[in-house]
Structure 1
Amino acid sequence: MTMTTAPLLTLVVLAYRQAPLIDAAIASALAQTGEPIEILLSDDASPDDTFARMQAHAAAYHGPHQVIARRNPVNLGLGAHVNTVMQAARGELILLMAGDDLCLPERAQRVREAWDATGRRVDLIASHVIDMAPDGTDLGLLRVDDLAQWRSVADWARRRPHVIGAAHAVTRRLFDRFGPMADDCLLEDQVNTLRTLCAGGACTVDAPLLRYRRGGVSGRHVDADGAALRTRLKRVADRHLALHRQWQRDATLAGCLDTVRAATDREEQREQFLAALLADPARRPPLPLLWDGRFRVRTGWRLSKWLRVAFAGLTVRIDALKARLRA
């Protein structure tokens, strides 16, 4: 279907190397009830046939929605991919989903109704999700916080809400106000939660609207050896530091930097210390980091992390033993 006017809603399916699962994800997107919406199928230069499958679905579709398949010319990574689709989408409210998740058919309609109920004032709409195993088995309900209870950045500073970004919808105006995220910032749900509390606020639909497949960056990790553990911990520390930099840029733009810094300074100091520990994942961290005055972290915590990284091989064996005992 060709839309003569811009749609109110866009549903974006973000994918990379998800050929075995993308057909089901696209089918769930195409099954959306309610008014016609734009459905944007976006592939991040997958080396498999993910994009070919997207093209086939778009060509075969004859329903009420407008379906567009697009592909990044090179692999951008999650942060830059989200920026790209936010710019490409035509809707005023943009729903995001991963290429291994499944939308419930009423998702777009329920999100639209929730937005309308606020007078389209809020800039982020969340929902609960159904926890799904990698094989597609439903594991139960995962609830998120009622974001309407967070009315300001001060509320966020006192306690950050529990969110699951896989089921978020955000407004175009929020993206336009704050601009693209830094390409190395991969935690877009945490970025958008702070952004929206600096702007129009947020709300939560009290129902699950997405089946959320475990795996990817949020899945359980099993490290093969000490080098793998150090590499993963460095990746996590770098990701968290990128989030802090993005928070600070956005808070500066919104005029609440002091509030955000006061609320996040302790954890940022810890992430900076961890990044220093893991500066060279192939080597044991330098002993002088234990008393390095650049980091405002407690001695006991500092020592425990140094030992975990310095003796990463032993850490992996202990973690594996704990996992077997839990099983």
Structure 2
Amino acid sequence: MTSPRISVALSVYNNAAYLTAALDSILAQCFADFELVIVDDGSTDASPAIIDRYAARDPRIRVIRQANQGLITSLNHIIDVARGEYIARMDGDDIALPERFARQLAFLDAHSDHGVVGTQIRGITESGAPRPGHKVEYPTSSDAVAETLASRSPLCHPSVMMRREVLRSVGGYRAAYRHCEDYDLWLRLVDRTRMANLPDPLLLYRASATQVSNRHVLAQNFGASVARIARAERLAGRPDPTDDWDSLPPIEAMDSAFGRPGLSARIRADVTRGILFSPDALAGEGLSLIDAHLEDVRQQRVPPVPALWRTVARLVRHHRPVAGLRLAAALAAHAVRR
């Protein structure tokens, strides 16, 4: 049997409300030589029935069922069984525009030095309507992608298409980087291949209150900071200890984990910067982390993160007055100036 050019990697967990639209958009692609590998990651809603209905009518669909193990395990399973030269990511609540696969395939076929290509996105609401005020511009050239990577993710994960062998060469996704597995992957791939984004929006990206990016801001920023440090270790010719980790140890353990004093304070400052616009994170565990950062400042381990007093006002505006008062008290106690 001839292998398809593309393997579409779709992990599904309780996406029933949006899954039909996502599957329809994949099966309506202008470029049709693909397999759609779906991992049903222990869904408890109507997702399995929807998947079965589509698989029964389209032989390109391959279904893998497992108890809930999370996105990283699901994607690595798909990478292991994928038959396509390219792997296209997709989420069960997004919508791929009809020319997406054709455009990305043409780019990778024409640019043999590129291993990853993403696209611009358009935001949609839970109901599928255009998302007002949503504007994200991902860098297009490989140089701009590499430059952006130093501070944030330069690609929208569900929009990317990747060369299967390049992805396998770095071992796929790493278990320790739950909630920021894509950013860690880009930081490992950038030293092996070029990455770019197409200039046109080819994915409708659905925003919802249950998204990982909304629920796990603290963990994402923690993991992203560690991923940047891990890359610096690799570039310096030192071992990356996170290769064998199943999860990230607490921030205070990072100095000994990497054998480098001062990393824990740097990470706390990094995470503090990353959560300043997340009222939910600041009203929860984020305040304890900021307290620890302020103690680092008092001990002169790191300079204070700017704009912390403005964050007090932001918390009040977002109906978190108690959190705002707690942060103001901590800033006053540590004599942090406005």
Does the aligned pair in 2 maintain the 1:273–1:295 contact within 8 Å? Answer: no
Residue of structure 1 aligned with 2:116, choices 100, 120, 124:
124
Deviations 1:202-260 (CA, angstroms, capped at 9, x unpaired) = 122222211111124366x6xxxxxxxxxx6xx422332223333444554565779xx
Residue 48 in 1 paired to residue 38 in 2?
no
TM-score by length of 2: 0.70
Percent identical: 21
Aligned to 2:332: none
Aligned to 1:322: none
CA distance in 1, matches of 2:24, 2:129: 18
Aligned to 1:315: 323
CA distance in 2, matches of 1:299, 1:239: 18
TM-score by length of 1: 0.72
Residue of structure 1 aligned with 2:217, choices 225, 230, 236:
236
Residue type at the aligned position of 1:145: P
Aligned to 1:17: 14
> Alpha carbon RMSD of aligned pairs, Å?
4.1
Residue type at the aligned position of 1:29: I
Deviations 1:74-122 (CA, angstroms, capped at 9, x unpaired) = x122333332322232222211111011111221111110101102x21
CA distance in 2, matches of 1:206, 1:85: 28
Shift of residue 158 of structure 1? 6.3
Shift of residue 36 of structure 1? 1.2
Residue 270 in 1 paired to residue 278 in 2?
no
Does the aligned pair in 1 maintain the 2:218–2:286 contact within 8 Å? Answer: no
Aligned to 2:186: 193
Aligned to 1:229: none
Residue of structure 1 aligned with 2:160, choices 152, 158, 168:
168
Aligned to 2:138: 144
Residue of structure 1 aligned with 2:36, choices 35, 39, 47:
39
Shift of residue 126 of structure 1? 0.9
Q: How many residues align?
A: 288
Aligned to 1:113: 106
Unaligned runs of 5+ in 1: 222-231, 318-327
Question: Quick one: structure 1 residues 266 and 160, their matched pair in 2 at CA, closer, same or farther if it must change by over 3 Å?
Answer: farther
Aligned to 1:291: 295
Aligned to 1:324: none
Question: Quick one: structure 1 residues 207 and 5, their matched pair in 2 at CA, closer, same or farther if it must change by over 3 Å?
Answer: same
Aligned to 2:249: none
Does the aligned pair in 2 maintain the 1:185–1:243 contact within 8 Å? Answer: no
Higher mean Cα deviation, 238-247 or 46-55? 238-247
Residue type at the aligned position of 2:227: Q
Aligned to 2:170: 178
CA distance in 1, matches of 2:77, 2:23: 19
Does the aligned pair in 2 maintain the 1:150–1:197 contact within 8 Å? Answer: no
Shift of residue 175 of structure 1? 2.5
Give secondary structure in 2 for the equivalent of 1:43: strand
Aligned to 1:87: 80
CA distance in 2, matches of 1:178, 1:31: 32
CA distance in 1, matches of 2:202, 2:6: 15
Give secondary structure in 1 for the equivalent of 2:302: coil
Does the aligned pair in 2 maintain the 1:10–1:93 contact within 8 Å? Answer: yes
Aligned to 2:56: 59
> Which structure ranks higher in relative contact order (CA pairs < 8 Å, sequence separation ≥ 6)?
1
Question: Quick one: structure 1 residues 190 and 50, their matched pair in 2 at CA, closer, same or farther if it must change by over 3 Å?
Answer: same
Question: Quick one: structure 1 residues 306 and 174, their matched pair in 2 at CA, closer, same or farther if it must change by over 3 Å?
Answer: farther
Question: Quick one: structure 1 residues 159 and 266, their matched pair in 2 at CA, closer, same or farther if it must change by over 3 Å?
Answer: farther
Question: Quick one: structure 1 residues 49 and 5, their matched pair in 2 at CA, closer, same or farther if it must change by over 3 Å?
Answer: same
Does the aligned pair in 2 maintain the 1:178–1:250 contact within 8 Å? Answer: no
